[in-house]
Amino acid sequence: MAISPAKIFIVIPAYNEQDNISIVIQSLLKYEYQVIVVNDGSTDQTSWQVQQFPPVILLEHLVNLGMGAALATGTKYALSQGAQIIVHFDADRQMRVADIAQMILPIVQQEVDVTIGNRLANSQIPVLKKYFIFPIARILNNLMTGLYLVDVHNGFRALNAKAAQKINIEQQGMAHATEIVQKIKKFNLKYREVPVTIDYHVFGQGIGGGLKILHDLFLKKIV
């Protein structure tokens, strides 16, 4: 199946990313993808930076809602514009634009509905994460979602339109990553993990972030 790059939308949630967002956009605009930045209530110059690139679609959250909500907004807008593939991409320069081609390939070839990045093969991962946080997260993810993923909380993912329509992201915060996996299982979507490289500039989510995710998932169960 041939998919025009104009139907491939890259959704980037951004919160106070004035130092990174221009670099990310510049590297994305070398390709012909449609780029959507969701400015999630940033208090810095993120919005102004994005406006310097007219081809980029800017969606503005008036207040900070969280990464999951920003991805939901961007995904919904992309679908309304006829997106056939939607890629979730970070604004902090940790993901490599060159990996997008590998991420969308199994979808273009109609082998799967969703691809999820797997950073364990190629990336220099902080030791605490690799040997302590990830193994625990893997077990918890397996218990909560019923799917076994090597890299359970990778924000680099690509979805075809069918999957994006079915997976309505309700978790506003970081728990969206687990919610998406839960819904891949729920809707019986075909998925594959694709090796990607993550360049760590900061540590990212630690144990506290993991506990917050568990709390959000538990709350969703009882509300």
Give the residue from 32, 37, 25, 36 showing the smallest Cα distance to 4.
Answer: 32
Contacts to other proteins from residues 135-154, by CB under 8 A: none
Whether 151 contacts 125, CB under 8 Å: no
3-state secondary structure of 9: strand
Q: State yes or no: residue 95 binds other proteins (CB under 8 A).
A: no
Can you name the residues that pair with 177 across neighbouring β-strands?
none
Nearer to other proteins, 28 or 38 (CB): 38
- Count of C-beta atoms within a 10 Å radius of residue 4: 9
DSSP state of 95: B
Q: Which of 101, 128, 136, 219 is in the footprint of other proteins by CB under 8 A?
A: 219
- Window of 62-70, 105-113, 132-140, 155-163 that interacts with other proteins by CB under 8 A: 62-70
Maximum CA extent, the chain: 46
**How many degrees, rounded to 5, is the angle at CA 46 between CA 49 and CA 204?**
130
Nearer to other proteins, 12 or 107 (CB): 12
Provide the minimum distance between the beta carbon of 3 and other proteins in the complex, in angstroms, as a whole number: 21
Q: Which of 63, 127, 143, 202 is in the footprint of other proteins by CB under 8 A?
A: 63
Provide the minimum distance between the beta carbon of 168 and other proteins in the complex, in angstroms, as a whole number: 12
Q: State yes or no: residue 59 binds other proteins (CB under 8 A).
A: yes
What residues make contact with other proteins under the rule CB under 8 A? Answer: 38, 57-63, 65, 69, 72-73, 76-77, 80, 172, 219, 223
